[in-house]
Structure 1
Amino acid sequence: MTKNNVYGGFFQALFFSSSVSIPTFLLDHYTELGINQQEMMLIIHLMTEINAKSEHLEEAITRKMNIAIEDFKIMVHTLQGKGLLTVNNRKIKGSTGVYYDFSGLLDQLIELWGINEFKQMEASNSKGKAKQGKPDADPNPSAKLISLFEQELGRPLTGLECEHIEKWLTATYSDELIIEALRRGVSAGIRSFRYLDSILREWEKKGLKTRAEVEAEDQNFQSRQNRKHDKPPKGSPKIKSKYDNIYL
């Protein structure tokens, strides 16, 4: 076999073999989701082997990545903890197999894309103000809020969470409303940014722009509840907060 024939056979095998499509946006931003390089490679392999028989999947991927089965399981567990991956059991032709669901990864990519769009809009608006000779009053209005959130939550915020605060400010939520939403979330023991976002959007829907207006609405809500339950019997359960069931 000639050298040219060898090259020809190799290129045909290379370019006509199966392939997997990885979104460029994921490759550009996976570190912002807290994914390290080895976890990203595992995600690519899982996407590639998604239709493989589950009983051979771990063996195939660990062999290709040159890692131990235990390392594979640890990375899968870590991705689950980050809300990026869900492992489900499903029946395939009468037998039960494992299915790896990346819906969580997709949700976080959509959220990150939205935040990036907001940042681009804000940057564009800032350029417009600069051309008009109107500099921003505060070059970093989110820094104070980020510091307060880290103090209340007792941990550093992730890059995605910091960008979420910037999105709230871009959406014209006032500092005092954002802080009040944080206070209520901490009091309820719920520290999810989606929960806080749902509270802010609920206030926006009702046209509430200040903490005083929110407190007045709470009093009206409580008064309506008291009228519905006039003189409740002693020992009856306390009326739940109207925010208890809000969760995005």
Structure 2
Amino acid sequence: MDFVKEWLQAGQMTVSRLLLQHYHRLGLTTEELVFWLELNSYSQQGETFPDLDQIARQMGLSQAQVFKLLEQVVAKEVLQIVTAQDSQGRQTDSYDFSPLYEKLTTILQADAAQAEVTSKEDQVSHLYQIFEQEFGRPLSPLEYERIAGWLDEDHYDPELVRLALKEAVTHQARSLSYIDRILLNWESKNIKTKEAVTNEQARRKMALLQKEAEVSQGAGTAEDQQLPPITLHNPFKED
């Protein structure tokens, strides 16, 4: 018998790694997961309501055990039995697997939201540390409160506050009032991201270089006007 041919004819089933990684968080046992996957594999082959006796034989379980598994996965809301009626009035049953995907999506969304909260908390904690490093001392309670106000009340991104601090340090102005003016100036120009700050700094640098070039050119012209006129007389030629 050609087992390779039989293997290929049996078809393939795709299982997301997310399901394998998180099925315990859905409240499923390993046996319940295998049962759910067995039903799903038949569904992928077009059998929407397979014979449970056949699944029992494949899993090495009794009929009563398989029916118990069916009750459990339905109770855990990862599978739903749907009854539909066709145009001739005949009722047909099928399995709906979408409840599992919906529950898994909810879990993953909650994970992503928590990760974002944790990331922001880490950013804020790191921001306070940077301020203390740049100021060379611990922050006072009022300073903590003012920085927190930028984040919680004014809703400035922690990265934007860090860049404002960096700008202030560049100008030798380690002052929260100076940093506040920088943030207000950026806000008036709708500067809210690191990229926007970089572009604004590049624009200011270009404007400064252009101004210096104009001043230098003007100074050179005035100096040229102060030079004595060049004579065309040849001192070695007799008059």
Q: Which has the larger radius of gyration?
A: 2
Q: Which one has a larger percent helix, Structure 1 or Structure 2?
A: 2
